[in-house]
Amino acid sequence: MRTIFGLHHCTLSVRDTEKSAGFYAIFGFKLALRWTAEDASLVITHLTRDDGFILELFEYGSNRELPLNRPQIGNDLERTGVKHIAFSVADLRAAAAELQKMNCGEMTEIKLGRTGIEYLFIADPDGNWVEIVQDDRSLDPSDPVLTWDDA
């Protein structure tokens, strides 16, 4: 029998757990656990969603006064490493209008990606870009779609 690997959590280092928890509440996350070091040098917070996914926040005391992170859109995609978290919605335009009404952070325009989905990015309180996508494709690993630039 082959092991099944389920998606469990994503971890972010943040400057202010409360601000980050408020921002990620937009995407359905709620406080489930908070651990604080005796000297308050570290706070670890687990935010969970109804689907069981956990967003783990690390707030180091030494990071609280750092300036806002200013990566390029998508969190500097040309550099190797983990870049962003993405959430899917059924109606991207409705989601964009809702996010604009909430005035919850810097947001890009909706764009059509090279992989055939529409998306936008919104900055979290630390300046990390969170992607919102509308993915109406039906991808099938047994028949992958292969594309390339003709240029």
pLDDT at 51: 94
Helices in 1-151 by DSSP H: which ranges? 17-25, 73-76, 92-102
In a shared domain, residues 59 and 76: no
Decide: pTM greater than 0.75.
Answer: yes
Contact between residue 148 and residue 142 where contact means Cβ atoms under 8 Å apart: no
In a shared domain, residues 101 and 82: yes
In a shared domain, residues 58 and 73: no
In a shared domain, residues 96 and 124: yes
Per residue in 103-129, pLDDT tens?
Answer: 888 999 999 988 889 999 999 999 888
Query: Residue 101 belongs to what domain range?
Result: 67-139
Residue 53 has pLDDT above 90, yes or no: yes
Last residue of a domain, one of 65, 89, 105: 65
In a shared domain, residues 51 and 106: no
In a shared domain, residues 58 and 75: no
Residue 20 has pLDDT above 80, yes or no: yes
Structure tokens at 26: 């937009």
Last residue of a domain, one of 44, 65, 86: 65
Q: What are the angstrom distances between the C-alpha of 1 and each of 4, 6, 89?
A: 9, 15, 34
The CATH number assigned to the domain holding 26 equals 3.10.180.10
In a shared domain, residues 135 and 89: yes
Residue 39 has pLDDT above 60, yes or no: yes
| Distance of alpha carbon 124 from alpha carbon 6, whole angstroms | 26
72: DSSP letter: P
Size (the chain), residues: 151
Count how many domains the chain has. Answer: 2
Per residue in 59-72, pLDDT tens?
Answer: 999 888 888 777 67
In a shared domain, residues 49 and 90: no
- Chain centroid to Cα 9, Å, comes to 11
Q: What are the angstrom distances between the C-alpha of 69 and each of 44, 76, 151?
A: 20, 11, 34
Last residue of a domain, one of 65, 97, 113: 65
Q: Confirm whether 147 is domain-assigned.
A: no
Strand partners, 14: 59
